[in-house]
Amino acid sequence: MTKPKAQSSSERRIYARYQMPISNLVEARWDGQALPLAHDPQHENISALGLRLALERGPSPPVGAKLDIRFPLVERPTRPGRTYAHCLGRVVRHDGPNLVAVYLQDVNFEPEESVAPVGARALIRS
């Protein structure tokens, strides 16, 4: 993981962004289909309220689209197993043809033993 991105005087964010290769960790679905994530650490980042994903190919989910996202958190040596963040995200903008900025609206933490593949259980309710 790299240092937080420097914030300019016009920066509106209140939380630091961290550039890291999240495509290797994140599973994201839109309309029940897995998004093809590209490994692009230069453009991927994560913060307390959202993340930016690099897609391998289009089409990109439109602004306002709801994404079902899951990723593992750091393992704690005092607890067996891993904890996952299972999130409902909303696309807030496109930062390029294959870059999608996502606001994390709802985050749930689940132990590894209770985690089903994202496609097997929908967080998004109609």
In 3D, which of 61, 72, 49, 63 has the Cα closest to residue 118?
72
Are residues 95 and 52 in contact, defined by beta-carbon separation less than 8 angstroms? yes
Is position 10 within any domain?
no
Is position 38 within any domain?
yes
Tens of pLDDT along the chain (126 residues)? Answer: 444 444 444 445 566 665 665 667 788 999 999 999 988 878 888 787 889 999 998 889 999 999 999 988 877 777 777 888 899 999 999 998 899 999 999 999 888 776 665 544 444 443
Structure tokens at 108: 């749930």
Taking the alpha carbons at both ends of the chain, their separation in whole angstroms is 36
Is position 11 within any domain?
no
Is position 64 within any domain?
yes
Is position 126 within any domain?
no
Radius of gyration of the chain (CA): 15
Q: What residue numbers bound the domain in which 38 lies?
A: 18-117
What total number of domains does the chain contain? Answer: 1
- Measured CA distances, 86 to 5, 14, 26, 56, 92 (Å): 25, 23, 10, 22, 19
Sign of CA pseudo-dihedral 56, 59, 64, 68? negative
DSSP code, position 58? S
Is position 2 within any domain?
no
CATH code of residue 60 = 2.30.110
| C-beta atoms surrounding 39 within 10 Å | 11
Is position 12 within any domain?
no
Is position 9 within any domain?
no
pTM beyond 0.85: no
